Structure 1
Amino acid sequence: MGRIIPRKAAARVEEALEDTRVVLINGARQSGKSTLVGQIGHDRGAEWHSLDRAATRQAAAYDPTEFVNSDAPMVIDEVQRVPELLLAIKETVDADPRPGRFLLTGSARLLGLRSVPDALPGRMETIELWPLSQGEIDDRPDGFVDALFDAGTDLHHTSDETRDGYIQRLTRGGFPEAASRTPRRRERFLDSYVADIINRDVIQLSEIERAPEMRTLTRILAARSGQLLVPGTLANELGLPRPTITRYLGLLEEVFLIRRIPAWSRNLSTRAIATPKVATVDSAVAANLLGLDSHRLRQPNSPLGPLLEGFAAMEIARQLTWSHQRADMYHYRTKDKVEVDIVLENRRGQVVAIDVKAASTVKAEDFRGLRHLAERLGHDLIVGAVLYIGQQTLPFGPRFRAIPISALWETPSPH
């Protein structure tokens, strides 16, 4: 893009370094972790070590204790490559508990890996860094989550975005290297990206016996964006044992290719339906896996709706990493197939419910799932919103609004 894009996660990292001994930035490859820690580490006079470099990796593995023995702050990039470093870091920060000693990055959900010792409880804060949000790309406020919880139906947004504009954003995605390229070159980047993730990171996490089936699974999951994730059905389609599919799904989530969105229920011990939904973390990866460019997505029978739902859900997931509201994201579906695409619940039990439509007009029946959820929640539902590709915010009753999708990144936070 020809510029360093400020990341909204930077403020959280700086804040954590002020009172926490070890800070881990975890996220997908090519999401900008190294650039972010490079800037922060430079400002703090930190030593820099990248474990992507063979010589550095060998030195760290040979003597982890000596490797981390330094009075200066230290940045270690791709720390999951030498898991033994975590025990050495634990010993170091226990002996010298000053905050901000270590700033780490990882390209897998580090503490979920079998090879990584659970070494740093109470000593480390983990911050997830996702591919660029639309607000980061366009230098817009990205405050929709906070605004919706605070303002509810008082939120009014007018949009200039067009259907074609949303398609362009969806196929561009948020990886810095991809977003800056022409469409043809972006496709090449995304092909290589997925291949490298499977051949390099997934195999590093856990030796897999059937890499071609793993690649097929990623395409199937992209095609099922916004649908229920049923391992048994996937096992039947691929002709693989269900435990193998379950293991593969876990690996794809650990390397940030997919995200599972759990089912919501007010009763924590039960679920309206226990099955999670699946979304591809980056919309451009999903579209590319399906061979869909902007031209094909403009066609009347294209799968724009499910991809747009995944796009909106992942924009919200990014915002949840920096929003003032401490909220979790779910989906809702009853056994009678009444659905709500996205349910956000904060720690006080207040709920914002969202459906996503790839349409420029909204009808009363589009609020069916939202109204059903409102009957269950009573006053705990702040607002039920249908995000759509029209240009005006429209009321559909006291607690229901149709809101342009661009409000996700164009709405300022009230904080």
Structure 2
Amino acid sequence: MIKRKIESDFNESIRQFPVTGLIGPRQVGKTTLAKSSIYLSESIYLDLEKISDLNRLNDPEFFFEENQDKTIILDEIHHLPNLFQLIRAMVDIHRKPGRFVILGSASPALLRQSDESLAGRISYIEMMPLSLLEIDQTESWEDLWIFGGFPEVFLYSNTKSKSNWYRNFVSSYIHRDLPQYGLPADSKVTRQFLMMIASSNGGILNYSTYAKSLGLSIPTVKTYLSFFVEAFLIRELYPWAVNPKKRLIKAPKLYYRDTGMLHYLLGIFNRDSVFGNLILGSSWESFVIAQVSSVLLSDDEMYYYRTHDGAEIDLLIRRNNSWLAAAEIKFSSAPVLTKGTYIAMQDLDIELLHVIVPKNENYPLAKNVRVIGLRGFLEFLDSTK
């Protein structure tokens, strides 16, 4: 089993909070982590997609009272959103750490499907696909990029199995998961929209373009996209837009969170088809941003910066109201920066710009600019915690 870096955060949350929420896309390893925790040896696991486990909760209040000395793990809790209100009441009656662990494949808002909150009682931890820092250095970073970071896919030895896995994964989200979360959508339109986002991965969001292509209203497009984001399929990277003296781009960029899913939707199944595709640069950006996100603190913020005059930086990371890091993302062994990058550094008072490249490099490119491999950059970020 691959050891996940968030395991210590998960265990600490169990020791501290009455309720721990472990959220992330399907098949990312949430159930495996919860079941393997040494702090949950006295626990009851309920899969709310199984009728037999649902039947055990015909009288949930009685069940919770009878098992208040054990940690109750509730998997796919969105099937019973009314449980949030009862969990809140049970915690208030008998508050102790580790009473409940809830697992969900969507954001807290989608899981609840209501205004019921467990604020002050719950710690949410997001679990992401595999990070470069979680796999052995002898493993191929290219495989993680090309085929994605879902643990089961990563461990498959042949391309056909990986492709079949993604076929089932995408189909499940389109036909079952997103409708269960409340997306009132035609499955054909959902697939078409996901493929359109894949084709323009890394591009600046334009609702009008999508609405026109899909034959939908702009509010409907916004609804679709919000479900894709809340289900951990798509990431919105917002611009840093607080400089009143500059004409700034103010719309977010859209990136797939997992490059394996991105490549599957684009019909890319191997290294050669990635390298020969126009998506190469934006795919690498998606991978880098996802990897960076996996090692940041939960309160850290990521942005990009672009002005109408051409000043641009691909990735800005902010912590405690100051810049933690700034980076250009280049799939190149000899990266070159534009004048606009240096102007952006001046605009934002960036003291050091990293240029992230695939290979394990670390050398100065220019004054206040350093080329660094992705793994090295992740290790740097991890060391700042």
Q: 1:145-184 counterparts in 2 under 5 A?
A: 167-181=142-156, 182-184=158-160
Instruction: Please point out which of 184, 201, 205 is paired with 1:229.
Output: 205
Is 2:214 the counterpart of 1:245? Answer: no
Of residues 328, 335, 341 in structure 2, which corresponds to 1:362? 335
Whole-Å separation in 1 of the counterparts to 2:72 and 2:307: 49
Would you say 1:272 and 2:245 are equivalent positions?
A: no
Per the alignment, residue 95 of structure 2 pairs with 97
Name 1:120's counterpart in structure 2: 118
5 Å-filtered alignment, 1:269-348, equals 272-297=248-273, 299-321=275-297, 326-348=299-321
Taking the aligned partners of 2:160 and 2:374, their CA distance within structure 1 comes to: 26
Q: What one-letter code is carried by the residue in structure 2 that aligns with 1:237?
A: S
2:357 matches 1:388? yes
CA contact (8 A) 1:259 1:278 kept: yes
Match of 2:84 in 1: 86
Q: Which amino acid counterpart does residue 285 of structure 1 have in structure 2?
A: M
1:14 aligns with one of 8, 11, 15: 11
Residue by residue over 1:223-277, the C-alpha shift from the partner in whole angstroms, topping out at 9 and shown as x without a partner, is 2221111221111111111111111101111211111111113469x99322111
Seen in structure 2, the aligned counterparts of structure 1 residues 301 and 51 have a Cα distance that, compared at 3 Å, is closer
Task: Specify the alignment match of 2:168 in structure 1.
Answer: 192
Secondary structure, counterpart of 1:119 in structure 2: coil
Q: Secondary structure at the match of 2:268?
A: coil
Deviation at 1:296, TM superposition (A): 3.7
Residue equivalent to 1:210? 186
Task: Name the residue aligned to 1:413.
Answer: 383
CA change 1:306–1:95 in 2 (3 A) is same
CA contact (8 A) 1:80 1:110 kept: no
Structure 1 counterpart SS, 2:291: helix
- For residue 201 of structure 1, what is the aligned residue in structure 2? 177
Name the structure 2 match of 1:63: 59
**Consecutive unaligned residues in structure 1, runs of 5 or more:** 141-159
Per-residue deviation at 1:52? 1.8
With over 3 angstroms needed to count, the CA separation of the structure-2 counterparts of 1:117 and 1:55, relative to structure 1, is farther
Give the letter for the 2:61 counterpart: T
Q: What do residues 31-64 of structure 1 show as CA deviations (whole Å, max 9, x unaligned)?
A: 000000111266441121111212222443x333
What code does the residue aligned with 2:104 have? Answer: G
Amino acid of the structure 1 residue aligned with 2:63: F
TM-score (norm 2): 0.91
2:37 is matched with: 40
1: CA distance between counterparts of 2:339 and 2:111?
A: 41
2:24 matches 1:27:
yes
Q: Could you tell me how far apart the structure 1 residues matched to 2:61 and 2:115 are?
A: 15
Corresponding residue number in structure 2 for 1:151: none
Deviation at 1:213, TM superposition (A): 0.9
Inter-partner Cα distance in structure 1 for 2:127 and 2:360: 30
Q: Is the 8 A contact 2:268 2:274 kept in 1?
A: no
- Residues 128 and 321, structure 1, Cα contact 8 Å, conserved in 2: no
Larger CA deviation: 173-182 vs 201-210: 201-210
For 1:101 and 1:43, how far apart are their aligned partners in 2?
10
> Structure 2, unaligned stretches of length 5 or more?
none
Q: Check the 8 A contact 1:167/1:297 in 2, yes or no.
A: no
Q: Which residue, out of 222, 233, 238, partners 1:262?
A: 238
Distance (Å, rounded) in 2 between the aligned partners of 1:132 and 1:201: 22
Q: RMSD in angstroms over aligned alpha carbons?
A: 2.4
Give the whole-Å Cα distance in 1 for the aligned partners of 2:56 and 2:40. Answer: 26
With over 3 angstroms needed to count, the CA separation of the structure-2 counterparts of 1:335 and 1:256, relative to structure 1, is: same
Contact 1:41 1:75 in 2 (8 A): no
Matched, 1:376 2:373: no
Amino acid at match of 1:176: P
Q: CA contact under 8 A between 2:310 and 2:340: conserved in structure 1?
A: no
Residue 399 of structure 1 is matched in structure 2 by 368
The answer to whether the Cα contact below 8 Å between 1:351 and 1:383 also exists between their aligned partners in 2 is no
Structure with the larger RCO, 1 or 2 (CA within 8 Å, 6+ apart): 1
- Aligned partner of residue 239 in structure 2, secondary structure: coil
Contact preservation (8 Å) 1:297, 1:303? no
Shift of 1:170: 1.4
Which whole-Å CA distance do the structure 1 matches of 2:247 and 2:86 have between them?
A: 42
What SS does the aligned partner of 2:328 have?
Answer: strand
Q: Indicate if the aligned counterparts of 2:77 and 2:111 stay in contact, CA closer than 8 A.
A: no
The percentage of counterpart residues that share the same residue type is 28
Q: Secondary structure at the match of 1:198?
A: helix
- What's the TM-score once normalised by structure 1's chain length? 0.85
Greater shift, 69-78 or 93-102, is seen at 69-78
What does the per-residue CA deviation read over 1:344-374, in whole Å, with 9 as the maximum and x for residues that have no partner? Answer: 01114124111111111122xx154442222
In structure 2, the CA distance between the partners of 1:166 and 1:119, relative to structure 1 (3 Å rule), is closer
Q: Please say if residues 57 and 81 of structure 1, whose CA atoms lie closer than 8 Å, have aligned partners that are also in contact.
A: no
